Structure 1
C-alpha cells in the first residue's frame, strides 16, 4: 500500500467513525446506492394561454420539441426577455400551459438583464421580479413572475417511499469530480409519473463542472438529528 492509498484509507476511516459517533441511537433512512441523473435547466418560460395569445397569436398552440418529464416538454417556440439593462433572446418555452406565467433564470442571467429575482420554489411568485416578454407577434410586461428556481429532484413514488422521502422534503446530493461539491436544500418533488432526475441551473452546473446526463449521489440523512449528518449512499 503506497502513501496515497494509506492516506485515503485513514481519511475514510476517520469520516466513518465521526459519522457513526454522531448518529448513534438515531433513526437512519434506508441505505441505497442511488445515482441520480442530472438535468441542467437552461433559462426558460412557462406561459399562460392568455400570454401565449398575446405573444404568438390568438388560440396559438405550443409545438412539441422534446420531452423533459412525462407530461412535460420543451416547445419549439422561444421568446425574448427584455430587462432594464439587456435582453436575452431564444428563451425556450416549456409546456404544458400554466395558469400563471413564470420565467426561470440563473443569477448570471439576472445580472445581465439588470433585475433581482428571488430564489423560489416553482409557483411561488408573489413579490418576484418583473420582465418584458417579446414574442413573434406581440409583447407584454409581467409585473411579477421571474424567479431563480430552487434546485430540485423529481422522485418517482417507488424510490421516494424506499428512501422515506415525501414531496416537499429537502435533501442533499453530492457531485464528484474535479469540481465536486455538495448541494444542500434540494427540494424533493414526488409523483407517480416523475422520472428520477436532479434539476440544477446553469450557474450551479458550471460550479460543479457537470452537464446533462452526468450523475449525482443522494446523501443519506439522519432523521431527527439537529446535526443533519449526511453521507453518500453506498
Structure 2
C-alpha cells in the first residue's frame, strides 16, 4: 500500500466517524413516503360521488385526524390519466391533487413544486368519479418536502414553523435533502414527507429515519 492509498483510507475513516458522531448528536426524523393523492372539497365529493355522499375511512394516517379513504378517482390531463388515485380525508376547503414530477409527464402537465395549500396559479386538471366528472381550474402540485412537528417536538429540535433545514438520509444511496420546510402545529406528529421520486433517488422506504443537519429561518 503506497502513501496516497493510506492517506485516502484515513480520510475516508475520519469522514465516516465524523458522520456517525454527527448522527448520534442529531435527533432522528421518521420518513413517510407520500404516493400521489387527492384532497377534495365537500362540493367536489358530491359532484364525483353523488349528492350527500360522505367519504369512508380505509385506514388512519400518521397525522392525527387524517385518513386514507376507500374512494379513489381518476386524474385526467392533456396527454394521459392516473387511475385509482387515493382520496385523503377529511374533506377540505379546496380541491388539491398532489403528484410527483414523473406523474406530471404521464398527465402532460408540469406540476409546480409548492407547499400544500399554496395553489394559486397552479395548473388545471379534470377528475373523474363514479357519478360524474369535475373540471378544476387550479390545484395540481408536486408537494414540497416538509417535516410535520408537534409544538413540543419543535422546541426539542430548536426550530420554528416556517424554518428550512437540511436532512441527511443514510444508506447505499445516501443524500442530503436541502430546503426542507418545518411545519409546526399542536395537531401534528413528527414525520418528514417526501414523494416517490425523492424516495427512489435515495432508496428510502417508509419507516426509515433521516437526521436533521441544521436549522434556521429563511
Match of 1:24 in 2: none
Partners in 1 of 2:127 and 2:16 — Cα distance? 52
Match of 2:129 in 1: 135
Match for residue 15 of structure 2 among 7, 11, 16:
11
After TM superposition, list the pairs within 5 Å mapping 1:59-70 onto structure 2: 59-68=52-61, 69-70=63-64
CA contact (8 A) 2:147 2:182 kept: yes
Higher share of residues assigned strand: 1
Partners in 2 of 1:188 and 1:61 — Cα distance? 32
Alpha-carbon offset, residue 13 of structure 1: 8.0
Shift of the 155–14 alpha-carbon distance from structure 1 to 2, 3 Å rule, reads closer
Structure 2 stretches lacking a partner, 5+ long: 1-5
Partners in 2 of 1:12 and 1:50 — Cα distance? 54
Does residue 39 of the first structure (1) align with residue 43 of the second (2)? no
Structural RMSD (CA): 2.3
TM-score (norm 2): 0.89
Alpha-carbon offset, residue 169 of structure 1: 1.2
Deviations 1:78-106 (A, max 9, x none): 00011111110010000111111000000
Partners in 1 of 2:82 and 2:123 — Cα distance? 15
Partners in 1 of 2:28 and 2:15 — Cα distance? 23
Alpha-carbon offset, residue 211 of structure 1: 1.1
Deviations 1:82-133 (A, max 9, x none): 1111110010000111111000000000011001121111111111011110
Shift of the 82–186 alpha-carbon distance from structure 1 to 2, 3 Å rule, reads same
Tell me, what secondary structure is at the counterpart of 2:213? strand
Match of 1:219 in 2: 213
Alpha-carbon offset, residue 33 of structure 1: 3.3
Match for residue 88 of structure 2 among 64, 88, 94:
94
Tell me, what secondary structure is at the counterpart of 2:46? helix
CA contact (8 A) 2:27 2:157 kept: no
Partners in 1 of 2:27 and 2:133 — Cα distance? 45
Match for residue 55 of structure 1 among 21, 35, 48:
48
Deviations 1:6-25 (A, max 9, x none): 3334436899xxxxxxxxxx
